[in-house]
């Protein structure tokens, strides 16, 4: 929101709050709904004030909300104040961890004054202080607070009282977060121990045997490392695969997941033949589980699609275009967003995707594929269809990369004409077309500088809106 919109919103919410306050004591059936709407207005207005750094106004509004909420109206003023600071900090942990620490530490300070030191809500404070430190990459401080919250949570796992959050779930998350930190610190033994504990707590995995949990731990560790430390990822996922092959049927879905992520690790090491081999093994297993009713860690259909898509990506790097088309077509047939397309529409999308991938690195091949896509689209779609505009845009970009500026301008203008006709004025694609034209004109003779500036300004105007 800009300042003008903020002020309008503030006035609207204030008016709504005044009206609701006149009806809070009504006895008709709408009272509960009015109270909920009233609290919603207070919370939203508080969020606006928070963005404006008006902490006192936020505190006042949040306290009013707690006073009218059936679940919190019985709290003492000190308890409401502590809860308010906690809620504020909780909302800011991901986006503004420093501010979150300020508020949650205030809440912790108040709660330590008025509650037993092992009260569940004090555990919540330590937990979210840990999260804030983790988001600041202050890992030792994060672990310290997670461990403090774990000790408190252990005393409340069997409580019948309802708290703001599930104690068991938060207890699991603390172990899981500590494991994540230890993984980043390369302390894999500690990470493994905390992951095992998290699996024992989790409702979805607590029923597993020790061997199954061990296999899952190694798998999770490997997944976390596949993109950053593929060698270590391979070590862990191969351990998981070894355990799973001992205790499960060789075509079990989780064995497919192992092959999939071994493939991903090899792909990140640029060992493409090994990657393809494991992706294909995963595909063979996934095929047998596409219609399973059982819930797995990942969506099997989506994993099946990704394997085809990743193989296509590798074949693109190897210039094996015939194989690419097969695997890309297969991926489009599996994808929920594209499976409804006709064969012609899938074919043209394949050529378009291939061309798009090659624009910067192999513009000649990009032109070949994008022109094939354009040819098919002109057969089956109206000539001003948005996707035809996308083809023109990419053909223009390929010509630009070949320094064929007249052709680049011709296709960029064709793209812009289609986009101007069918897309909103405030549209990133339209801004992109203006940017392309500006870039091409800038590479031509000085007499084109006026046109370059014109399209730069148009792109900037759209981007600002």
pLDDT, position 462 = 43
pLDDT, position 3 = 61
Domain spanning 208-340 has what CATH number?
A: 1.25.40.10
Give me the CATH topology for the region 83-187. Answer: 1.25.40
Query: Which tokens go with 35?
Result: 């109270």
Burial of 140 (0-12, 13-18, 19+ CB in 10 A): exposed
pLDDT, position 298 = 82
pLDDT, position 437 = 46
Q: Which residue is listed with tokens 């994008």? A: 370
pLDDT, position 464 = 43
pLDDT, position 460 = 42
pLDDT, position 422 = 74
Half-sphere exposure of 420 (CA within 13 A, CB side): 10
Secondary structure of the chain as H, E, C letters: CCHHHHHHHHHHHHHHHHHHHCCCCCCCCCHHHHHHHHHHHHHHHHHHHHHCCCHHHHHHHHHHHHHHCCCCCCCCHHHHHHHHHHHHHHHHCCCCHHHHHHHHHHHHHHHHHHCCCCCHHHHHHHHHHHHHHHHCCCHHHHHHHHHHHHHHHHCCCCCCCCCCCCHHHHHHHHHHHHHHHHHHCCCHHHHHHHHHHHHHHCCCCCCCCHHHHHHHHHHHHHHHHCCCCHHHHHHHHHHHHHHHHHHCCCCCHHHHHHHHHHHHHHHHCCCHHHHHHHHHHHHHHHHCCCCCCCCCCCCHHHHHHHHHHHHHHHHHHCCCHHHHHHHHHHHHHHCCCCCCCCHHHHHHHHHHHHHHHHCCCCHHHHHHHHHHHHHHHHHHCCCCCHHHHHHHHHHHHHHHHCCCHHHHHHHHHHHHHHHHHHCCCCCHHHHHHHHHHHHHHHHCCHHHHHHHHHHHHHHHHHHHC
Which pLDDT tens digit goes with each residue over 96-145? 999 999 999 999 999 999 999 999 999 999 999 999 999 999 999 999 99
Half-sphere exposure of 311 (CA within 13 A, CB side): 26
Instruction: State the Cα–Cα distance between residues 291 and 263, nearest whole angstrom.
Output: 23
- pTM exceeding 0.85: no
End-to-end CA distance of the chain: 12
The 10 Å Cβ neighbour count of residue 203 is 10
Instruction: State the Cα–Cα distance between residues 75 and 93, nearest whole angstrom.
Output: 25
pLDDT, position 419 = 75
Q: Tell me if the domain spanning 353-465 has CATH number 3.40.710.10.
A: no
- 347 near 331, Cβ under 8 Å? no
Burial of 252 (0-12, 13-18, 19+ CB in 10 A): middle
Residue closest to 223 by CA, chosen among 253, 262, 184: 262
> pLDDT 10s per residue in the chain (465 long)?
456 566 776 676 666 666 656 655 554 544 556 566 666 666 666 666 667 667 666 666 666 656 555 665 566 788 888 988 898 899 899 999 999 999 999 999 999 999 999 999 999 999 999 999 999 999 999 999 999 999 999 999 988 887 778 999 999 999 999 999 999 999 999 999 999 999 999 988 999 999 999 999 999 999 999 999 999 999 999 999 999 999 999 999 999 999 999 999 999 999 999 999 999 999 999 999 998 887 777 899 999 999 999 999 999 999 999 899 999 999 999 998 999 999 999 999 999 999 999 999 999 999 999 999 999 999 999 998 989 999 999 999 999 999 998 999 899 889 888 877 776 544 445 445 545 544 544 555 544 545 544 544 444 444 444
Half-sphere exposure of 271 (CA within 13 A, CB side): 14
Residue closest to 322 by CA, chosen among 312, 332, 334, 310: 312
Query: Where do the domains of the chain lie?
Result: 1-74, 83-187, 208-340, 353-465
Instruction: State the Cα–Cα distance between residues 316 and 362, nearest whole angstrom.
Output: 11
Instruction: State the Cα–Cα distance between residues 150 and 129, nearest whole angstrom.
Output: 13
Q: Which residue is listed with tokens 């430190």? A: 133
Instruction: State the Cα–Cα distance between residues 414 and 425, nearest whole angstrom.
Output: 16
Confirm whether 83-187 and 353-465 share one CATH topology.
Answer: yes
pLDDT, position 453 = 45
pLDDT, position 457 = 45
């Amino acid at each position: 929101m800009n300042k003008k919109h903020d002020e309008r919103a503030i006035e609207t919410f204030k008016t709504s709050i005044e009206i609701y306050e006149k009806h809070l004591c009504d006895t008709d059936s709408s009272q509960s709904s009015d109270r909920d709407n009233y609290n919603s207005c207070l919370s939203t207005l508080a969020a606006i004030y928070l963005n404006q750094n008006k902490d006192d106004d936020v505190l006042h509004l949040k306290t009013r909300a707690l006073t009218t909420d059936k679940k919190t109206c019985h709290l003492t003023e000190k308890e409401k104040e502590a809860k308010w600071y906690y809620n504020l900090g909780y909302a800011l942990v991901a986006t503004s961890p420093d501010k979150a620490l300020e508020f949650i530490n205030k809440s912790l300070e108040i709660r330590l004054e008025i509650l037993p030191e092992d009260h569940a809500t004090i555990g919540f404070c330590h937990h979210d202080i840990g999260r804030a430190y983790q988001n600041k990459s202050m890992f030792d401080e994060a672990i310290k607070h997670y461990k403090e919250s774990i000790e408190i949570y252990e005393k409340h796992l069997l409580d019948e009282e309802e708290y703001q959050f599930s104690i068991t779930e938060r207890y699991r998350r603390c172990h899981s977060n500590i494991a994540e930190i230890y993984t980043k610190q390369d302390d894999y033994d500690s990470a493994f121990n905390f992951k095992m504990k998290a699996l024992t707590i989790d409702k979805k995995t607590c029923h597993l045997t020790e061997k199954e949990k061990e296999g899952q731990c190694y798998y999770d560790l490997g997944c976390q490392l596949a993109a950053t430390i593929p060698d270590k990822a391979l070590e862990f996922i191969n351990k998981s695969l070894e355990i799973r092959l001992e205790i499960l049927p060789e075509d079990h879905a989780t064995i497919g997941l192992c092959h999939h992520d071994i493939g991903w690790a090899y792909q990140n090491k640029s060992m493409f033949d090994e990657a393809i081999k494991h992706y294909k093994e995963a595909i063979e297993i996934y095929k047998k589980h596409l219609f399973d009713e059982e819930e797995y860690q990942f969506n099997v259909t989506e994993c099946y699609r990704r394997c085809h898509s990743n193989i296509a990506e590798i074949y693109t790097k190897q210039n094996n275009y015939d194989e690419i088309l097969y695997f890309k077509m297969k991926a489009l047939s599996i994808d929920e967003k594209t499976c409804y397309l006709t064969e012609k529409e899938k074919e043209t999308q394949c050529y378009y995707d291939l061309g798009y991938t090659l624009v910067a690195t192999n513009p000649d091949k990009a032109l070949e594929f994008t022109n094939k896509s354009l040819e098919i689209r002109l057969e089956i779609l109206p000539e001003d269809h948005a996707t035809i505009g996308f083809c023109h845009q990419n053909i223009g970009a390929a010509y630009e990369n070949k320094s064929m500026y007249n052709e680049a301008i011709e296709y960029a203008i064709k793209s812009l004409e289609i986009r101007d006709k069918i897309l909103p004025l405030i549209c990133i694609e339209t801004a992109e077309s203006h940017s392309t034209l500006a870039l091409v004109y800038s590479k031509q003779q000085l007499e084109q500088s006026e046109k370059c500036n014109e399209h730069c300004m148009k792109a900037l105007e759209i981007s600002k809106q």
